[in-house]
A = this chain, B = another copy of it.
Amino acid sequence: MNKKAVILLSGGIDSATTAAKAVKDGFNVHAVTFSYGQKHNIEILYAERLVQFLKISSHIIIEISPEIFLSSALSSASGLEIPKNRDITDSEIPVTYVPGRNILFLSYALSYAETTGARDIFIGANAVDYSGYPDCRPEFIRAFEQMANLGTKAGVSGDKFTIHTPLISLKKSEIIRMGISLGLDYSLTLSCYDPLKDGRSCGRCDSCIIRKKGFAEACIIDPAANRD
């Protein structure tokens, strides 16, 4: 029987590629997606499509009270606008930062993993073509893993958890090429932070800009471009 893994799946390029990699590497993959009042909660639908496409073993959708993340522009209740056509090379952490999001998401994955007997957790964190979020950096991931192995029964018993970040040091174009080589269909992914009412991507938020740049640098046509 394959080794069980828990993966954080949002419906975007990075988590989809990470999931495809985990499946390819022979893990029995269990996906976790979060509903937290995000403006782009349509991403949950994309996550469900990816689960079907990748034949992922199970999928749970966890509700997080929107008040926890209220200060982020990604929160539909924040009253803040998603920045458009921003200079993504700006080193300041943008208003789309969600307070402690990956910490909370990884904590859920950790509890779920320990409960179900998984010791491998996958997250599509990426510290190259990203928006400068502190919870996507390798030093944070290492600190989380260390903390997890000090604060859990499995960890202190020597049956340690591993946080896998196969994309952490890849450029977006390299991620896309990896996904294509794994047979991933990127038309099943959504990157936009602020989709239009008809579901099309805005094309101007950080996430849309990084996606466009990634496909261009990979010299690949984005299969979602027709949709958008």
Contact = CB atoms under 8 A, between A and B. Distances in A.
B107 A103 contact: yes
Contacts of A155: 134
Contacts of A220: none
B147 A71 contact: no
A144 B67 CA distance: 22
A112 B68 CA distance: 5
B147 A134 contact: no
What is the interface of chain A mostly: helix, strand, loop, or mixed? helix
Interface in A135-155: 135, 137, 139-140, 143-144, 146-148, 150-153, 155
Nearest to A100: B111
A65 interface: yes
Instruction: Report the copy number of this chain in the oligomer.
Output: 2
A100 B134 contact: no
A137 to B, nearest CB: 7
A110 B101 CA distance: 10
A70 B134 contact: no
B156 A150 contact: no
A108 to B, nearest CB: 6
Given A143-B143, A153-B93, A100 B67 contact: no
Number of contact residues on A: which range applies? 35 or more
A171 to B, nearest CB: 22
B99 A111 contact: yes
Residue picked from A71, A143, A157, most chain B C-beta under 10 Å: A143
8 contacts: A62-B68, A100-B107, A100-B148, A103-B107, A103-B152, A134-B151, A134-B156, A135-B151
Contact of A151 (B65, B68, B140, B152): B140
A90 to B, nearest CB: 14
